[in-house]
Chain A
């Protein structure tokens, strides 16, 4: 069926069944491959996007359920002030190793900072525990969130 979504502020039209997860619409139909497939059952967070600013696992979100809500992906999050701060902190502290999970990590961190500008450790744990990093970059993710929150330079 024909669909239109607002993704990163742009209208995108495509054909997809309503039960198709947003992840596969982004990756396989729209060619927006920054959002990653990790588990397919909302266990790892690699596919995290924002729906109206809230972090959502796109691997289990039927595209038909998105309707007129705004979708933000890793390709667009840098256009928001908080997204740009998170990306910068990620590079300043050299968080990333293989990087495959980091789209999801950055989306979860940006959503956290948008609602909780000065998160403490337990806020970070609660917001980020759904995102697995197999390279084990957790120590730096925590530090980078704190840096992005304070605006401190490394």
Chain B
């Protein structure tokens, strides 16, 4: 990475003491790394100033920052480094980064309680703790210098990794203060900087992880190379939950380079000298599957079940005013919206490299959940958790797929039967067909209008509870807190308001988090329905929203700016429309306008997207812009093409030919406008994925009058010109 110093592996550490603000990190180090990874200095805190789990300074002044969150493209290594370096007053040009090892105690995300990266909360969760960690380390360095000079700490200042005594002009570098600072007691209530004095935060700084991404040097999990490593690929039963009945591997064993065929109860893996041998061997297998009870599951059955479930009352997530009264007055409108299963399709197909010995298990992978990978691998290996070493890597996309440990568990099960390390890589087909899918959802809404405003709003979301499986405390009294996110806190001022959740698990198909998570579903339904209500009320969609945002100045400002910058209201050619979306997700306040052209055949051309965002203090504004640009493309891809369908218990899509991605020739111009704010930072990584689909659908509605209520966009409905 920057300066060739970022560790692409982490070492085994036995943490004796530690913690956010107190205690010193004492660590043992056994350098074990992939052969192709840059040579690293030993990760040893001896002789270093290591005031907490995040900061190490050696006597030469080299500053290493340990990253509690993982880098999957969202720029968080840079943002987190900026936050630490800001309060530490470190020379930012000279910091190097390390992936954190697994430890919920030291690196647990303060909002999750476990070491996980997701939910657009890295900066939100770590803002205060890392500022405190940086400020506390800085205070200890100042104390050390002040003692040496026999002056008051308050008479000293810091900048660029140096302590200065202004009056006398004396200076000591942080490197020179390592030993004296290590002897200091961490301060109790350390003051943080006034944001007006920030030197790094708020500047569009260059990312620390990108220089090695332009020359092939960056090492992702799939790139781990170890001496005497073997390569494997696998086929799992195409029917969810099915088992292996019989395998004829006689032809596979004859493929040059094939070393072994590993048959487990639910999958078969071929191990070879390289991926090509493994793949050819896999293709030569004759496998009979016991398809089991899911062999008849189809999308039709799944949708029939979900539609039936969504007609029943759900668990109440929020209720305000008198919904019965609210729905009894004014003009009533009802609609339902449906969203499909989606695969993640990270560009880096899922993979894990594992070396199992009788008393150890070492893993090289890129994961969003370090400690979960460690504990799940321990179970699969039959070893105590402390015998499992996890070396995290850069992630070639996460999007929620790598919040799961299934790929590591499968690789451990295979590796138990292999001598030496084995890298198991899923083919794209296996990656798409054995994902943990964004659930199908159905949202039903009834609302009433009086005097041009909404007076009653009853919203019911029906679908899988991902939380119930992934984080059970997030599913309580029948309500999935992610499932109703952005529905219970929609920004509009509505006097009678009622939100319900119906848990409806699809048969057979495993469900998981997908970029944008719960708000993706809810914001789509809410914002599409808002446009239908605006039309019924005879109002412009932006004006209609404005009239109910009087108590929401941050949303109103975002909406007004997006409208202004997008040219809202200015004339457009025939069959071109603008659609708007306002979203309350992840602590950010965002409005987006999509401009799209729709031809008579229902084909959609994306012309232009304009987003306005108030995300509080923008730690790295260029990252905010990039995340919205990319998230919008992610969401628009899903809106235009994304759907996983099921037939005979198996996924029908297999690769990018039938699970399509938006490409550069279809990408619109995108403008992102950041609103200056002094509030604490909000989340950003997921938000663009949420914004794109409703704004596009509303643009199609404006261009054609066709009120689509399902994704992906159905060109035949547009061509038929069916009006709502």
Contacts and interface: CB of A to CB of B under 8 A. Distances in A.
Interface string A115-148: 0000000001110111111111111111000000
Given A37-B349, A44-B347, A74-B216, A94 B395 contact: no
B632 A136 contact: yes
A133 B428 CA distance: 15
A142 B216 contact: no
A129 B663 CA distance: 6
B655 interface: yes
A33 B225 contact: yes
Given A37-B425, A136-B630, A99 B218 contact: yes
A37 B275 contact: yes
Q: Pick the most buried of A35, A101, A139: most chain B CB atoms within 10 A of its CB.
A: A139
Interface in A75-90: 75, 78, 87, 90
A28 B275 contact: yes
Contacts of A65: none
A134 B487 CA distance: 27
B274 A102 contact: no
Secondary structure of the A contact surface, majority rule: loop
A38 interface: yes
Contacts of B73: 96-99, 135
B663 A132 contact: yes
B656 A44 contact: yes
A58 B665 CA distance: 23
Interface string A44-61: 101000000000000000
B394 interface: yes
A34 interface: yes
Interface in B209-234: 209-211, 213-220, 222-223, 225, 231
A32 B217 CA distance: 9
A123 to B, nearest CB: 11
Interface residues of A, number: 57
Contacts of B279: 40
Contact of A74 (B72, B215, B630): B215
A11 to B, nearest CB: 19
B216 A34 contact: yes
B74 A97 contact: yes
A138 B667 contact: yes
Interface string B297-341: 000000000000000000000000000000000000000000000
B256 A43 contact: no
B211 A91 contact: yes
Nearest to A34: B216
Contacts of A31: 35-36, 225
B630 A97 contact: yes
Q: Pick the most buried of B206, B348, B670: most chain A CB atoms within 10 A of its CB.
A: B348
B575 interface: no
B626 A97 contact: yes
A31 B216 CA distance: 11
B622 interface: yes
Contact of A124 (B347, B655, B664): B664
B630 A40 contact: no
Given A99-B396, A134-B661, A139-B667, A36 B214 contact: no
Nearest to B628: A136
B656 A96 contact: no
Interface residues of B, number: 66
B392 to A, nearest CB: 14
A104 B345 CA distance: 17
B346 A129 contact: no
A113 interface: no
Contacts of B214: 74, 78, 87, 90-91, 96, 102, 106
Given A34-B217, A94-B207, A135-B73, A24 B276 contact: yes
B68 interface: no
B186 interface: no
B668 to A, nearest CB: 8
Contacts of A12: none
Nearest to A99: B213
Nearest to A1: B256
Q: Pick the most buried of B210, B349, B397, B664: most chain A CB atoms within 10 A of its CB.
A: B664
B170 interface: no
B75 interface: yes
A145 to B, nearest CB: 10
B427 interface: yes
A33 B8 CA distance: 14
B101 interface: no
Q: Pick the most buried of B74, B630, B662: most chain A CB atoms within 10 A of its CB.
A: B630
A137 B629 contact: yes
Nearest to B204: A94
Nearest to B396: A100
B664 A128 contact: yes
Contact of B669 (A87, A97, A100, A139): A139
A32 B399 CA distance: 27
Contact of B347 (A78, A130, A133): A133
B210 A40 contact: no
B207 A20 contact: no
Nearest to B395: A98
Contacts of B629: 136-137, 139-140
Given A94-B207, A99-B209, A40 B664 contact: no
B664 A125 contact: yes
Nearest to B654: A41
A125 B665 contact: yes
A20 to B, nearest CB: 4
A69 interface: no
Contacts of B627: 97
Contacts of B231: 28
Contact of A142 (B396, B626, B664): B664
A3 B657 CA distance: 33
Contact of B207 (A27, A96, A106): A96
Given A103-B216, A133-B633, 7 more contacts: A28-B273, A37-B275, A75-B215, A97-B73, A99-B396, A106-B214, A138-B633
Interface of A: 16-17, 20-21, 24, 27-29, 31-41, 43-44, 46, 73-75, 78, 87, 90-91, 94, 96-103, 106, 124-126, 128-142
Interchain residue pairs A-B with the least CB separation, the first 7: A34-B216, A136-B633, A98-B73, A100-B396, A99-B213, A97-B73, A28-B274
11 contacts: A17-B276, A29-B274, A32-B216, A43-B656, A75-B217, A96-B207, A98-B348, A136-B632, A138-B662, A138-B663, A139-B667
